């Protein structure tokens, strides 16, 4: 925290917090985390004059709640009547005033509540951080501000935080409690800012740096998330958290590509095995049919011989004028002849072996998920960065209606719905494969500008609720495709679920 006097213009700017500036859209996880980072400005007044001013960094844990260091807002703690706290977001939203709702000087942590506006919330990582793991410091170091500011007003301009990459070393006990030691450069002004992992989740709150006046290497210290969650729990404040391992999007894509390749090869092998088995069964069926045909042929020939014999006997009886025996023999010959013809004509057909039940089986599988389903997360196929949803319930209808409320539209082999909320800076693409039961939720953490464009495109999607109108679903498919094409090439989070009908 640094202190210096400001002009009357700065006083007016601090009171109004009315400056905004656009930020360039980013799509990687650390840039997504930057959306939650804020500059915390503290000003002490005597009358209409600012007599002391300082700043630090903070990050949102909810739409209107900010975590920072207690020492960043120490002026407000010691003199709440004469000190004002301002929060300047990284992008989009205008600066706003804030007040302290929880503070713990022993842990050097504080929570602020915004008077207006909302921010995307960061996710806390509550899992195990391994030595050597990549980390990044996000914040507003004073030396960068002093080197680049053109005027005092620049301190109140919304702008993305500075990013410094490094590695986590270990956790040490300090007089103030446990501290993460890392090599991501920080400076005065970074205090209260987040230390994040490669997935953009907060692993600590930056608090101090080592003294390098003798030329020694600089290390940073951060308050671990365990201390932050304990502080929040005691203050009865909720924050989003998960403990999933950080896996890069590239690594997960490679793993998924290998899985799909293996699945394709397994399907090809299964198909080859099925064809061989079907060919063997068909060959056996043909052998059985040929044997049956030969048997019928022999029976027909035997009946024909009997018919010829009876016919010859009838001729002999006619020559001898033995009419009754002649008539009986003639009738017998006719019966044997008809029986021979019927036996020959009703031989088994060779076409019986060509019946294939596979289409019936596939048709049955396509409708198996109609109704209630329980979908369970497949962690080995998922990339979890902001959520902690191990199971979802999904009620599916064959026309793409989900939970009797939300309409999905076909997109190739899947049914898709793109969700663009009004309050959050997250676009969710949900895909359901009604043949396999695979349910995939992809989340894109977007900048304010990218979110504005997504909402513009979402407004063009006419169909919202479930409909039986096939043409309306086709229009929805085209409109959603335009929206998906505007999203980054990779989502920040991808959750893969395997669904099974309830009771199966």
The domain 8-246 having CATH identifier 2.40.10.120: the answer here is yes
pTM: 0.76
HSE, CB side, 13 Å, CA atoms: give it for residue 148: 11
Predicted pLDDT at 88: 93
- When the pLDDT of each residue in the chain is averaged and rounded to a whole number, the result is 85
Q: What is the pLDDT of residues 34-62, one digit of tens each?
A: 999 999 999 998 888 888 888 899 999 99
Mean pLDDT on 139-147: 77
- Give burial (CB, 10 Å; 0-12/13-18/19+) of 125: buried
Quick one: what percent of the chain has pLDDT higher than 90? 56
Mean pLDDT for the stretch of residues 113-132:
95
Mean pLDDT of 286-291: 82
Q: How many residues does the chain have?
A: 504
pLDDT-derived band at 128 (thresholds 50, 70, 90) equals very high
pLDDT at 17 over 70: no
What pLDDT score was predicted for residue 153? Answer: 63
Mean per-residue pLDDT, 192-200? 96
> What confidence tens digit (pLDDT) does each residue in 338-389 have?
888 888 888 787 665 444 544 444 444 456 899 999 999 999 999 999 998 8
Q: What is the rounded CA–CA span in Å between residue 394 and residue 391?
A: 10
Q: Are strands 109-114 and 391-396 parallel, antiparallel or unpaired?
A: unpaired
**Which pLDDT score, from 0 to 100, does residue 358 have?**
47
């Amino acid at each position: 925290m640094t202190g210096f006097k400001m002009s009357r213009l700065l006083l007016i700017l601090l009171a109004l917090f009315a400056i905004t500036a656009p930020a360039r859209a980013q799509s990687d996880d650390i840039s997504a985390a930057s959306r939650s980072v804020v500059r915390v400005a503290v000003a002490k007044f005597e009358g209409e004059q600012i007599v002391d001013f300082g700043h630090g960094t903070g990050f949102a844990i909810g739409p209107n709640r900010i975590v920072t260091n207690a020492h960043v807002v120490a002026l407000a703690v010691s003199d709440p009547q004469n000190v004002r706290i301002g929060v300047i977001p990284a992008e989009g939203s205008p600066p706003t005033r804030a007040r302290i709702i929880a503070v713990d000087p022993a842990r050097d942590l504080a929570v602020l509540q915004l008077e207006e506006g909302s921010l995307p919330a960061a996710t806390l990582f509550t899992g195990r951080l391994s030595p050597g793991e990549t980390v990044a410091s996000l914040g507003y170091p004073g030396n960068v501000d002093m080197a680049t500011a053109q005027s005092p007003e620049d301190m109140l301009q919304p702008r993305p935080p500075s990013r410094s990459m490094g590695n986590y070393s270990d956790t040490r006990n300090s007089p103030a409690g446990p501290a993460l030691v890392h090599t991501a450069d920080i400076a005065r002004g970074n205090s209260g800012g987040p230390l994040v992992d490669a997935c953009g989740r907060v692993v600590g709150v930056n608090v101090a740096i080592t003294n390098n006046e003798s030329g020694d290497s600089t290390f940073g210290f951060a308050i671990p998330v365990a201390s932050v969650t304990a502080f929040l729990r005691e203050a009865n404040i909720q924050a989003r958290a998960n403990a999933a391992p950080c896996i890069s999007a590239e690594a997960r894509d490679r793993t998924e590509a290998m899985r799909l390749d293996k699945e394709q090869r397994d399907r090809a092998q299964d198909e080859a095995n099925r064809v061989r088995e079907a060919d063997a069964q068909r060959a056996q069926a043909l052998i059985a049919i040929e044997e049956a045909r030969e048997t019928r042929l022999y029976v027909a020939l035997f009946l024909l011989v009997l018919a010829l014999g009876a016919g010859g006997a009838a001729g002999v009886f006619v020559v001898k004028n033995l009419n009754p025996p002649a008539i009986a023999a003639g009738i017998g010959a006719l019966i044997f002849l008809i029986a021979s013809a019927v036996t020959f004509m009703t031989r088994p057909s060779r076409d019986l072996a060509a019946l294939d039940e596979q289409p019936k089986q596939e048709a049955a599988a396509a409708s198996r998920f109609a109704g209630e389903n329980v979908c369970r997360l497949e962690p080995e196929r998922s990339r979890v960065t902001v959520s902690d949803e191990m199971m979802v319930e999904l009620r599916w209808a064959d026309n793409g209606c989900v939970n009797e409320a939300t309409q999905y539209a076909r997109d190739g082999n899947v049914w898709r719905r793109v969700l663009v909320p009004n309050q959050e800076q997250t676009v969710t693409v949900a895909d359901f494969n009604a043949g396999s039961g695979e349910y995939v939720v992809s989340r894109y953490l977007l900048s304010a500008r990218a979110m504005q464009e997504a909402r513009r495109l979402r407004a063009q999607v006419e169909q919202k609720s479930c409909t039986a109108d096939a043409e309306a679903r086709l229009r929805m498919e085209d409109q959603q495709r335009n929206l998906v094409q505007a999203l980054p090439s990779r989502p920040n989070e991808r959750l893969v679920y395997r669904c099974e009908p309830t009771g199966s």
